[in-house]
Amino acid sequence: MDLALAHETMARWQFGITTVYHFLFVPLTISLTALVAGLQTAWVRTGREKYFRATKFWGKLMLINLAMGVVTGIVQEFQFGMSWSSYSRFVGDIFGAPLAFEALIAFFFESTFIGLWIFGWDRLPKKLHLLSIWMVAIGSTLSAYFILAANSWMQHPVGYELANGRAQLTDFPKVLFQNTTLVVVFHTITSAFLTGGAFMIGISAYQLRKASRAAKADRNPVKVAAMSTSLRLGLITCLIAGLGTAVSGDALGKVMFEQQPMKMAAAEALWDTDSPAPFSIFAYGDVAKGHNTVEVTIPGLLSFLAKGDFSSPVPGINDTNAAEKAKYGDKAPDYKPNIPTTFWAFRWMIGFGMTSFVIALAGLWLTRRRFWLAPEFRRAGDEVPRFMLTKNRELGPFLNKWAWRAAIWTLLFPVIACSWGWIFTEMGRQPWAVYGLMTTADAVSPGVTIAEQWTSLVVLTLLYGILAVVEVKLMVKYAKAGPTDEEPPRGNPTLGGPPPGSEDADKPFAFAY
């Protein structure tokens, strides 16, 4: 066995398992926090109980997800020191700045204001309490921004100089605001809201489906109204975010074609430079010989995605590999990533993400309540929506059943899409850990044994597996329970608290959930 290869392979498996697992929580936390803040804003402005019930319901799920995201993120840090010490030494000066900002600003916002939000329902004035959840949402977004700025530097290093075998920071604003960072942040945030919108659609559909099967006398109109509002919010969020994800994905693709031509050539299984270049819908070929034996393509579309017109040449895998060998020499045996993984990861990312967008578009049409509906089919906001195909025609029982199922299942699709997107981003730039500067083989820790790596891989996988069971059980428990019967807080507390001697003055500082 080639020990050097095995060493790198073990480190990559460990990074892949921990990072993909941690990234399951990140998009949902970013979007769900903002959506909860939006629902609470609606409650503070209107006083309508359905918004309060929805805020409390989604707030519980947000807190579970946020807690798991923090735990898995902290555990993930251990692998950098253990398996990637050469990489850590090389990029320490660069990564230190954005990670310090992430901890000092973003994590401070999240950790401080989430505590005020949890404990402040009956203690803080409504508007101040509302401000706390918005600060958490801002903190989550800033946290993502700083992490993505650090990752973008790995994809496209800027604002540095090499000294004593290390990259040293010379222009921090350039790291934060280079075009790679900006388009990656745009794409990640829009896909995060696609995830959050689909999550709301799926769980709201489950609750409304359950309510539709219950006897009318057993339905709680306020709870149904809270879930109907959530379903509508999820559908609109998913639709807008889906459009944003497509636009930002196109912008990101053009940047990648310019900065990492090998990644995009691999994503399309485009072996040889072509003009106009076709977009590959399906391809199967011989990776060793460097050609496709079966492929289904759309002529000229890849040229448009890469350069904005239908005739520009797009470099292929073989030509790009030869160019990188000439430029970087023998830093790596080959400059091609795993072609099948990159090709299919790109398609699963787009396919699962856009499926939720299509479901949201169909859902908005089918659940419309006022326009283009005959009066006898219109439903009030506290009733379970009907799936109306035309003005006077409802979906039949078979399609109705599958429409509910599609709405419920869509909650998983953007999560799967985000995971494949992350795999595509990281595997597509191989063999580089830092593009053009450091290969992945050179980034692993030199002093860690295979036995130690096996041990840490097994321990981390088991630990994350246990956390996954806890996460799923908690999520399912509270999602099935639905909105609570809790009444909205009475009055509007002041910062000075209740007057001495009043009944509320002796009230314990209770945990809100």
Q: CA 294 → CA 128, 264, 277, 283, 286, distances in Å?
A: 61, 19, 16, 6, 10
pLDDT confidence of residue 511: 46
Cα–Cα distance between 172 and 158 in angstroms, integer?
9
Contact (Cβ atoms closer than 8 angstroms) between residue 132 and residue 110: no
Cα–Cα distance between 42 and 212 in angstroms, integer?
26
pLDDT confidence of residue 59: 94
Q: From first to last of its 513 residues, what are the pLDDT tens digits of the chain?
A: 444 557 888 888 888 888 888 888 889 999 999 999 999 999 999 999 999 999 999 999 999 988 888 878 777 777 777 888 888 888 888 888 888 888 777 778 888 898 899 988 888 899 999 999 999 999 989 988 999 999 999 999 999 999 888 899 999 899 999 999 999 999 999 999 999 999 999 999 999 999 888 877 778 888 899 999 999 999 999 999 999 999 999 999 889 888 998 988 888 888 888 888 888 877 777 777 777 777 788 888 888 888 888 888 888 899 999 999 999 888 888 899 998 899 999 999 999 999 999 999 999 999 988 778 888 888 877 888 889 898 888 888 899 999 999 999 999 999 999 999 999 999 989 899 999 999 998 998 888 888 888 888 888 888 888 888 888 899 999 999 888 888 887 777 776 665 555 555 555 544 444
What DSSP designation does 183 have?
Answer: H
Our CA angle for 197, 199, 201, nearest 5°, is 70
pLDDT confidence of residue 509: 47
The three-class DSSP label of residue 168 is strand
> Could you tell me where the DSSP H helices lie in 329-449?
339-366, 397-409, 413-427, 440-443
The total of other beta-carbon atoms located within 10 Å of residue 279's CB is 18
E strand or H helix at 32, and its extent?
A: helix 26-46
Contact (Cβ atoms closer than 8 angstroms) between residue 497 and residue 507: no
Give residue 270's Cα distance to chain centre: 28
DSSP one-letter string for 185-219: HHHHHHHHHHHHHHHHHHHHHHHHHHHHHS-GGG-
pLDDT confidence of residue 434: 92
pLDDT confidence of residue 512: 46
pLDDT confidence of residue 406: 93
